[in-house]
Amino acid sequence: MSCMPCTTERVQVPVYYPTPSQTRLASQLTEEEQVRIAQRIGLIQHLPRGIFDPGSEPSDKKIKECVICMMDFEYGDPIRFLPCMHIYHMDCIDAWLMRSFTCPSCMEPVDAALLSSYETN
Ligand SMILES: [Zn+2]
Ligand SMILES: [Zn+2]
């Protein structure tokens, strides 16, 4: 699996808050918080992404719905793969990972898995 070059995705990044209860503007975040958010966005963008295609999924391990929005995947939906092999809508998991860097299905920490895979590669 290859890593897509980051330069191909220049997405408009909305203002994120360190926790949902905090309502400060991005400009009022401390430098440390801004760095952490930027690092998190960078990690999320390195997760493999794809297009949902029911035909390409192994039949014994079919994931049919996104547990974040509880909607069934449809052919052509943009999805993101986590290191634990769970898949979610890209919009759903990106927003989720900004709040919690764990898989919503199995609670496996996503950043630890990513960091260890970076070290071995
Ligand atoms: Zn979803
Ligand atoms: Zn998982």
Taking the C-alpha atoms of residue 38 and residue 72, their distance in angstroms, rounded to an integer, is 31
Q: What is the dihedral of CA 22, 25, 26, 30, to 10 degrees?
A: -70
Ligand 1 centre distance from Cα of residue 73 (Å): 8
Whether 70 is covered by a domain: the verdict is yes
pTM of the model as a whole: 0.66
Whether 73 is covered by a domain: the verdict is yes
CATH of residue 60's domain is 3.30.40.10
Taking the C-alpha atoms of residue 16 and residue 66, their distance in angstroms, rounded to an integer, is 22
Q: Please, what is the average pLDDT of the chain?
A: 78
Residue ranges making up the domain that contains 81: 48-121
Whether residue 8 has pLDDT greater than 50 = no
Ligand 2 centre distance from Cα of residue 105 (Å): 5
Ligand 2 centre distance from Cα of residue 45 (Å): 17
Ligand at shortest distance from the CA of 87: 2
Ligand 1 centre distance from Cα of residue 32 (Å): 30
Tell me the percentage of the chain whose pLDDT exceeds 90.
Answer: 36
Tens-place pLDDT, residues 18-59:
555 555 565 678 999 889 889 888 889 989 999 998 876 555
Please count the structural domains in the chain: 1
